[in-house]
Amino acid sequence: MTRNARKKSRMKYKTLKGLQDILPSEIAVWHHIESKARDIFRNYGYKEIRLPILESTDVFIRSIGETSDIVEKEMYTFQDKGGRSVTLRPEGTASFVRAYVEHHLYNDPAPQKFYYMGPMFRYERPQAFRYRQFYQIGAEAMGVDDPKLDAEIIAMLSKILGSIGLAGLNFEVTSIGCKKCRPDYRTALKTFLGSKLDKFCGDCQRRYDANPLRILDCKVPACIESRKGSPPVLDYLCGECKDHFESLRGNLELLKVPHTVNPNLVRGLDYYTKTAFEVSSENLGSQSAVAAGGRYDSMVDEFGGPPTPGIGFAMGMERIIPLIKDSVSGAAGPDLFFCPLGAAAADKAFLLTEQLRTEGRWVEMNHEGTSVRSQMRKANRIGARNVIVIGEEELRNNKIVLKNMLSKEEISAALEAKELLNLISSRK
Ligand code: ATP
Ligand code: MG
């Protein structure tokens, strides 16, 4: 049996639908994004928070909303062995607010600023750029209602996306009002939709009474068509929300963050108030949103904390990676690769490998007694920068030849850690 055939016949398991492995050959771009984001979060005073992946189901139902697509259709909910209903988090903000209230983080000087990175789970129909486990990097700023903070977080998002190499993005902003002005808007929307409710899908017909705003987010083509011309929420803002939105726009202009106002922007989560925003790319087809967020000024209160405003965003790693992956180079190969011939040479190579690693170099050795030719081929495949063959003669004379795999230059040296360290450190 060939090696490949043997491997194939033993493969019993595959990743679940909509989930993917991230292989070492793909990881460089993930590290690139994460490290650029961390650098910028530091400049803006955002601190990392790590939250559980599993929460009580109620955490999401109460915040994201019973009639949202996420809660109605997309959650991975199950009973644990104690009979509690638990859910794999579909997004970060609800878990974050649960932690914010649980640990009284509102007692710290405002604004308190946080960021997180990690997997989210939604039982969606998998397609390009849409998965059932996907990764988000998100940020939350708490305790300040000043529209400057809204502008700052959008500016920070723009800086992060720019620094990781994304261009051609469209920043759309709007305001979706607050508890005070939403009832008026809801009434206007219901009046508009009521006369043609029969043209909407069954879900939307149910939403009409429970939560008519959700109809604006329905993806069914007939519903998209039928809701055209619905009253824009911006026309129904109360004085406070209007001023807040005007000020947000002024502050975005002050910081020179290009953006457009999209009065039809709706978010899939119920907890938003006032500012909502979305960033999209023309290069992603229909799954074009790379990041989205907004203000949520009632959630802390609803979770049992003191009334505290908040604003946040989340960006989707799997939507960003395809846009930049060709411009991020992968990890280089080892600094040095030993090709030992025989057991005594292997012992020597083994010891030197360990010593050079202790000195901070990436060193590998060959472990199978194969020919020099096949060992050199392996050195090439793993991208080794330098190679040393150790045979009987090299051991006897304590002398080797260090070969640079790029320039093909060869240098004689003593078979000794210090000298090798100097050589592999100084040569490119
Ligand atoms: P969409 O309209 O594409 O379903 P959404 O409004 O449900 O997005 P949010 O809840 O705002 O998405 O999540 C923020 C970001 O997370 C999105 O802009 C997107 O980049 C990413 N994202 C959301 N769902 C998925 C998914 N199933 N697979 C990959 N990325 C996702
Ligand atoms: Mg969605």
Residue among 168, 162, 154 at smallest CA distance from 284: 168
The answer to whether residue 242 sits within a structural domain is yes
pLDDT exceeds cutoff 50 at 1: no
The answer to whether residue 99 sits within a structural domain is yes
How many CB atoms are closer than 10 A to CB 103?
Answer: 11
Can you tell me which atom of ligand 1 is nearest the CA of 122?
A: 27
For the ranges 71-75, 264-268, 296-300, 400-404, the lowest mean pLDDT is seen at: 264-268
Can you tell me which atom of ligand 1 is nearest the CA of 267?
A: 6
pLDDT exceeds cutoff 60 at 237: yes
Query: What pLDDT is recorded for position 7?
Result: 55
For the ranges 87-96, 130-139, 268-277, the lowest mean pLDDT is seen at: 268-277
Q: Could you report the per-residue pLDDT of 285-313, keeping only the tens digit for each?
A: 777 899 999 999 999 999 999 999 999 99
Going by CA atoms, what residue is nearest to atom 24 of ligand 1? 130
Q: pTM for the whole thing?
A: 0.91
Q: What percent of the chain has pLDDT over 70?
A: 97
Q: Could you report the per-residue pLDDT of 363-408, keeping only the tens digit for each?
A: 999 998 889 999 999 999 999 999 999 999 999 999 999 999 999 9
Token representation of residue 270: 């119920």
The answer to whether residue 95 sits within a structural domain is yes
The answer to whether residue 261 sits within a structural domain is yes
What is the Cβ-side half-sphere exposure of residue 369, based on CA atoms within 13 angstroms? 5
Q: Could you report the per-residue pLDDT of 111-127, keeping only the tens digit for each?
A: 999 999 999 999 999 99
Query: What pLDDT is recorded for position 201?
Result: 93
Going by CA atoms, what residue is nearest to atom 19 of ligand 1? 316
The answer to whether residue 204 sits within a structural domain is no
Can you tell me which atom of ligand 1 is nearest the CA of 320?
A: 20
pLDDT band at 217 (very low <50, low <70, confident <90, very high): confident
The answer to whether residue 304 sits within a structural domain is yes
* Distance in Å, CA 317 to ligand 1 centroid: 10
Residue finishing a domain among 279, 302, 327: 327
Specify whether 165 is located in the same domain as 78.
yes
Specify whether 260 is located in the same domain as 285.
yes
Specify whether 380 is located in the same domain as 314.
no
Specify whether 252 is located in the same domain as 168.
yes
Cα separation of 274 and 175, whole Å? 5
Q: Could you report the per-residue pLDDT of 152-178, keeping only the tens digit for each?
A: 999 999 999 999 999 999 999 999 999
Instruction: Starting from the CA of residue 289, give the closest ligand.
Output: 1
pLDDT exceeds cutoff 50 at 52: yes
The answer to whether residue 211 sits within a structural domain is no
Distances (CA, A) of 31 to 24, 119, 331, 343, 348: 11, 15, 10, 39, 35
Specify whether 146 is located in the same domain as 112.
yes
Query: What pLDDT is recorded for position 2?
Result: 44
Query: What pLDDT is recorded for position 327?
Result: 86
Residue finishing a domain among 295, 327, 359: 327
Terminal-residue alpha carbon distance, the chain: 42
Instruction: Starting from the CA of residue 123, give the closest ligand.
Output: 1
Average pLDDT, the chain: 93
Query: What pLDDT is recorded for position 268?
Result: 76
Specify whether 351 is located in the same domain as 267.
no
- Name the one residue in this structure whose structure tokens are 């045979």: 391
The answer to whether residue 265 sits within a structural domain is yes
Query: What pLDDT is recorded for position 427?
Result: 56
Q: What's the average model confidence in pLDDT over 97-111?
A: 98
Tell me the CATH number at 408. Answer: 3.40.50.800
pLDDT band at 264 (very low <50, low <70, confident <90, very high): confident
* Distance in Å, CA 92 to ligand 1 centroid: 12
Q: What's the average model confidence in pLDDT over 275-285?
A: 91
pLDDT band at 8 (very low <50, low <70, confident <90, very high): low
Token representation of residue 261: 């106002």
pLDDT band at 428 (very low <50, low <70, confident <90, very high): low
Q: Which residues line ligand 1 (CB under 6 A)?
A: 91, 122, 124, 129-131, 134, 136, 268, 287, 289-292, 314, 316, 318-319
* Distance in Å, CA 152 to ligand 1 centroid: 22
From 93, 121, 130, 278, the mutation candidate for ligand 1 (largest count of ligand atoms within 8 A of CB) is 130
pLDDT exceeds cutoff 60 at 262: yes
Specify whether 242 is located in the same domain as 349.
no
Query: What pLDDT is recorded for position 11?
Result: 86
Specify whether 134 is located in the same domain as 111.
yes
Specify whether 242 is located in the same domain as 309.
yes
Distances (CA, A) of 408 to 99, 341, 364, 376, 411: 57, 21, 19, 12, 10
Count of domains in the chain? 2
- The whole domain housing 274 covers 24-181+237-327
Residue finishing a domain among 304, 327, 350: 327
